[in-house]
Amino acid sequence: MNATRSVLFEPVARGLFFVLHVFAVYLLLRGHDLPGGGFIGGLVSAISWVMLGLALGWSEVGRVLRVDPARLAAMGLTVAGVTGAAPMLWGRAFFEQFFWHGTVPFLGEIHLGTPLAFDAGVFLVVVGITVKMIVVLGRSTSGMRAFPRVEADRYFSILEEPIEGPASTPKEKGGTDAG
């Protein structure tokens, strides 16, 4: 539904999408010892989704996303919660940290710990919530339904009607909106 598609912005956004995700993972992995972590990495990843939505249109972002971002956030919350509560199963303190050290061929010495798993959960929560909010706002400001019909049952009560009304989507008016 992006009427003014840019010949320059689209390929740049596609390339930066990958670069920003690599940078987000880098921030996630270095977060325990240096500045960075799951929150900042999640925001960088969400920014790449926003950029892709602005370049390609919000319908295309809906097609590229393989998982509903709200479900991604729920998975992240589960990972973070389990990481914090798991030590209690062995009589240890909530959020007690555990570390594993080893050597991996071609990578050398590796140090992994539960803070990384917690940060990964935070990463997923931030990406999921931020992307969901931005996609909903982007779709609604572009004249599309905020939630595609597939998601309407998940997010709406049976007692409420969509703000858009029954025939306000471009698809219903003869357009090509996929949502």
DSSP string, 24-80: HHHHHHHTTTSS--HHHHHHHHHHHHHHHHHHH-HHHHHHH--S-HHHHHHHHHHHH
**Residue 72 forms part of a structural domain:** yes
Out of 17-21, 24-28, 131-135, 174-178, least confident range:
174-178
Q: Is pLDDT above 70 for 173?
A: no
Number of neighbours of residue 44 by Cβ within 10 angstroms = 22
Sorting pLDDT into bands at 50, 70 and 90, what band is 90? confident
| Average pLDDT of the chain to the nearest whole number | 82
**Residue 85 forms part of a structural domain:** yes
- Give dist(CA 135, CA 96) in Å, integer: 36
pLDDT of residue 108: 82
Number of neighbours of residue 133 by Cβ within 10 angstroms = 13
**Residue 177 forms part of a structural domain:** no
**Residue 172 forms part of a structural domain:** no
Out of 7-21, 48-62, 92-106, 151-165, least confident range:
151-165
pLDDT of residue 75: 96
Considering Cα of 95, then 97, then 103, then 109, what sign does the dihedral take?
positive
**Residue 123 forms part of a structural domain:** yes
**Residue 171 forms part of a structural domain:** no
Instruction: Quote the domain boundaries for residue 65.
Output: 9-142
Q: Is pLDDT above 60 for 69?
A: yes
Q: Is pLDDT above 70 for 163?
A: no
More confident residue, 7 or 52: 52
Sorting pLDDT into bands at 50, 70 and 90, what band is 40? very high
| All residues at 6 or more sequence positions from 87 whose CB lies less than 8 Å from its CB, including other chains | 93, 94, 95, 96, 98, 114
Domain total of the chain: 1
**Residue 91 forms part of a structural domain:** yes
**Residue 38 forms part of a structural domain:** yes
Query: How large is the average pLDDT for residues 139-164?
Result: 72
Sorting pLDDT into bands at 50, 70 and 90, what band is 176? very low
Phi and psi dihedrals of 122, rounded to 5? Answer: -60, -40
More confident residue, 58 or 81: 81
